[in-house]
Amino acid sequence: MSKKQIYMPGQVITTEEEFLAGENTFAEGGFVKAKGVGEADLNHETKEATVLGKSIKTIVPGDIVTGVVTLVKDSSVVISMTSAENGKKITTSSAQIPISSASTQYVTNLKKIFKVGDIVKARVSKMSSFGIDLETSETGLGVISAYCSNCRKKMEYSNEKLMCLSCGSVEERKWFEMVEVPRPREERSGGFGGGFRRDNFRGNSNFRPRNNFSRGNFNNRDNFRGPRNENRSSN
């Protein structure tokens, strides 16, 4: 006996513990979800969940999406996704770009390279029940349309700079046409921007203690009483 119900794309049908993902469904985060709109068929004999309806292709990790910056925080940029390549459907519009996925370069302030209202092209890096993560850390991804912070006019990109032809303002962005190069190893490991080198803690490898006390030798009483006065006469 099977149970049928109408489900929408991305909606949870059941758990992976109870049923396998069948036609027009997919498994994610321990749940079986619908790919398209239709009746959900939970077959208790085959232990398979299917959707009897039209299949709709939705975004998955690796897909390219376009969206608008709605908020820039210290650790991430909030994006409202508007479209996806290859005609795929976006079931949840909200996503974020973590600061670690914004660029291959060292980023200390996201507000310098993203502004509210910018149009961004990004790649889906992760999808879970907690949300969708995007990345722009490669050439071809990033801000594709920027607007002046002063007069809100569309800015023009030339000679690696974004300039507003209306008010003359020059601003930074993670521009999609800029060539992204891997960040230096020292920078990735914390060598810059407040990081620490191991040598700061271990000291110079050529350093050697200069007295017995620093070596931990406590047998020589001169270490505590000072040098003897060889000319001192005894009473």
CATH number of residue 30's parent domain: 2.40.50.100
85: helix, coil or strand?
helix
Taking alpha carbons only, the member of 125, 127, 129 closest to residue 15 is 129
46 and 139 inside one domain:
no
69 and 166 inside one domain:
yes
pLDDT tier at 201, thresholds 50, 70, 90: very low
How is residue 3 written in tokens? 């149970």
42 and 141 inside one domain:
no
Q: Which residues pair with 50 in a beta bridge?
A: 41
What is the tally of structural domains in the chain?
2
Residue 26 lies in domain: 2-54
Q: In which residue are the tokens 């979800």 written?
A: 33
Mean pLDDT of the chain: 79
Q: What is the pLDDT of residues 58-105, one digit of tens each?
A: 888 999 999 999 999 999 999 999 999 988 888 889 999 999 999 988
Note the pLDDT of residue 212.
Answer: 46
Alpha-carbon span 14 to 92, nearest angstrom: 19
Note the pLDDT of residue 23.
Answer: 87
Output the CA torsion 60→64→70→74 (10° steps). 80
Residue 215: partners with Cβ closer than 8 Å, 6 or more residues away: 209
126 and 28 inside one domain:
no
Q: Of 26, 54, 82, which closes a domain?
A: 54
